[in-house]
Chain A
């Protein structure tokens, strides 16, 4: 798994919303094909970190290298076209167009890379097949989440950022989502960074753990190391 050059390398990242310094000196890396969990409490800075990677919101300082290239001055849309794809927490499905159209929109970013076909998508998410013609606003939260992930996949990402993909979903649906992600990892060679609070879901989907608290990365290691220090859970994740 460990290749010499990671897919994503972030060093000394700071992010600001107005005057408040939300992400402080974060450094992390994700290797090709690796799946990493980003754990932290509500408001710890998970979403801000993800948006910072795409330069889509906060004011950002620091270095971000993706696929060996410096992303400084690269616009958010160009970042997604290079294969850095974010599925945001609030999903942002377009309500006035159909599910199929929503999913096809994702293909905009796949330009120049091995594209994902619609057949492949509907094979991966058979649940979506009967929903194709429905309008975006006619779906449940779980369905919306599926559409959002499918749309993200259509962009043929090299690194898919999922921001709390199972937040607010029923346990059964969470389970399905975990299976979907496992299947995606089997069929496509892509890396994942999943922001989560749901430990068991995160554990099923990822190989490694990043722990963030008050905007600082406080732990970076394997699940085994994470479990070896129960204090971590107590200090940074307990409500």
Chain B
């Protein structure tokens, strides 16, 4: 029996340590690193949104940039054209945009495609959305939408001024923590467990009378909404929405984070995103080497430690434990 309460407590402890680390960044680092940390925080949840789909529902998306970009552009449009609208409503609209894209696309694609075909379909659609952005005047074409203001939130009781980069950084950390917590709760709810069951065994779940399509679509829409939320939160931080954030290479980012950190673990994308931020930072003054460095690192991870960093650590720990006492052979029903 898994002790859920203990697991909850340990995850809470991890989250608290992570939050504390992010909270001290503005005190110990300069504004460039704080900015990077803000992006990393967003990337963590972006990676988790992808992993919800991958490790959760067993779907491989190669088009998460369309959600991220969709949310970012929705937020940018809202803040440029309806500056009177409450900021949090803007974020909701951003997330809703991602959910909508996921719903429309998912209804068509999930019925028909799976595996690599699904991946390539997502890639194609995301590239279409990118092209549409670069050809649409009110989306700023290739130059993007610039000068996006940072908000002040009026709660009635008090006013939260987020116009400075540092204040907005803290908002990001809080928003991403909330999003990660919500995701954790979902994954540990009965619905979340059911979606995971789909991945583990398509057939058996079908026999249980579950509509696989329905649950896959649910996972897809949730994942899209979460990715779009990340995009929407990022835009006031960087103050620009440019077509690069909807380009297909952005779709590879959450995949890289997740696989680097370990897809089998809730915190995998977080470890991956932090590590990737560090690599990005470490190669910032190199000439022409960042491509080959990232490529080699990634290849080594996939080939040597396919479980990602966390999987690797877990494996080593298990090995160490197992050596002294080989577990007694269990009586199991044989498999055909």
Contacts and interface: CB of A to CB of B under 8 A. Distances in A.
Nearest to B329: A21
B336 A24 contact: no
B332 A20 contact: yes
A42 B56 CA distance: 33
B336 A43 contact: yes
Interface in A7-23: 14, 17, 20-23
B250 to A, nearest CB: 36
A47 B334 CA distance: 10
Nearest to A46: B334
Contact of B332 (A14, A22, A44): A22
A22 B329 CA distance: 10
A47 B336 contact: yes
Contacts of A23: 334
Report the contact-size class of chain B (Cβ under 8 Å from the partner). Answer: under 10
A214 B331 CA distance: 8
Interface string A205-222: 000000000110000000
Contact of B329 (A24, A44, A48): A24
B333 interface: yes
A45 interface: yes
Most A CB within 10 A of own CB, among B330, B331, B335, B336 = B335
A215 to B, nearest CB: 5
Contacts of A48: 334-336
Nearest to B335: A17
Nearest to B336: A47
A48 B330 CA distance: 17
A21 B330 CA distance: 7
Interface string B302-336: 00000000000000000000000000011111111
Looking at chain B's contact residues, the main secondary structure is loop
A21 B332 contact: yes
Contacts of B329: 14, 21, 24
Contacts of B333: 20, 43, 214
A43 B335 contact: yes
Nearest to A213: B334
Contacts of B332: 20-22
A214 B332 CA distance: 8
Interface in B165-192: none
B306 to A, nearest CB: 16
A47 B336 CA distance: 6
B325 to A, nearest CB: 16
B331 A22 contact: no
A70 to B, nearest CB: 23
Nearest to B331: A214
Interface in B213-237: none
B336 A20 contact: no
Most A CB within 10 A of own CB, among B331, B332, B334, B335 = B334
Interface string B79-117: 000000000000000000000000000000000000000
A45 B329 CA distance: 15
A45 B336 CA distance: 7
A235 B329 CA distance: 22
A45 to B, nearest CB: 4
A22 B330 contact: no
Contacts of B331: 214
A42 B335 CA distance: 9
A135 to B, nearest CB: 27
Contacts of B335: 17, 20, 22, 43, 48
A14 B328 CA distance: 13
Contacts of A215: 334
Nearest 8 A/B pairs, CB to CB = A20-B332, A45-B334, A22-B334, A17-B335, A21-B329, A43-B334, A215-B334, A24-B329
Interface of A: 14, 17, 20-24, 42-45, 47-48, 214-215
11 contacts: A20-B330, A20-B333, A21-B332, A22-B334, A42-B336, A43-B334, A48-B334, A48-B335, A214-B331, A214-B333, A214-B334
Given A20-B332, A23-B334, 17 more contacts: A17-B335, A20-B330, A20-B333, A20-B334, A20-B335, A21-B329, A21-B332, A22-B334, A42-B336, A43-B335, A45-B334, A48-B335, A48-B336, A214-B331, A214-B333, A214-B334, A215-B334
